[in-house]
Amino acid sequence: MANFKFVHNNINVRDLSKSLAFYKEALGLNEVRRISPEDGSFIIVYLSDGSSEHQLELTWLRDWDRPYNLGDNEFHLAFRTDNYQEAHQKHHDMGCICYENPAMGIYFIVDPDGYWLEVLPNR
């Protein structure tokens, strides 16, 4: 059987600049590659945490004119942090915590488009 390895996850965003700023500030993700066709119809930006090979792909579509319908599923991306308390305080200060589960020791933040991002401590 063929072996598979995670490469990236894609999410579509309405305001690329706002999303890039959010992911940089909230999670320390940096742009590592960009695809921009000459006609300007879309932009794809790949973000990296600098330590894993897995990337987050942000897709911006020029002609998209409404918020994305994220549906009723509980789709989310998860991030592990080496300083949970510091991360929690930062996200609290940013006002982006949308759900906390102290019993499980996790919380979620929400990005500018409404995507939920789980924050986990090292265990």
In a domain, 71, yes or no: no
**How far is CA 81 from its chain centroid?**
14
Between CA 106 and CA 47 the distance in angstroms is: 23
Domain count for the chain: 1
Mean pLDDT, all residues of the chain: 95
pLDDT value, residue 75: 85
Residue 3 lies in a domain: no
- Average pLDDT for 96-108: 96
Which pTM was predicted? 0.92
- Distance spanning both ends of the chain, measured CA to CA: 32
Q: Does 11 score more than 80 pLDDT?
A: yes
Could you tell me if residue 2 is inside a domain?
Answer: no
Q: Has residue 68 been placed in a domain?
A: no
Residue 13 inside a domain? The answer is yes
Q: Is residue 109 part of a domain?
A: yes
pLDDT of residue 112: 97
Task: Assess if residue 106 is contained within a domain.
Answer: yes
Beta bridge partners of 122: none
- Asked if 83 contacts 42 with a C-beta cutoff of 8 angstroms, the reply is no
Token pair recorded at residue 94: 């940013």
The string of pLDDT tens digits covering residues 49-81 is 999 999 999 999 999 999 999 988 788 999 999
Mean pLDDT of 17-43: 98
Domain carrying residue 53: 8-62+76-121
- The CATH number of the domain holding residue 37 is 3.10.180.10
How far is residue 27's CA from residue 35's CA, in Å, rounded to a whole number? 22
Token output for 6: 């995670």
Residue 51, in any domain of the structure: yes
pLDDT band of 47, cuts 50, 70, 90: very high
For residues 39 and 86, the answer to whether their CB atoms sit within 8 Å is no
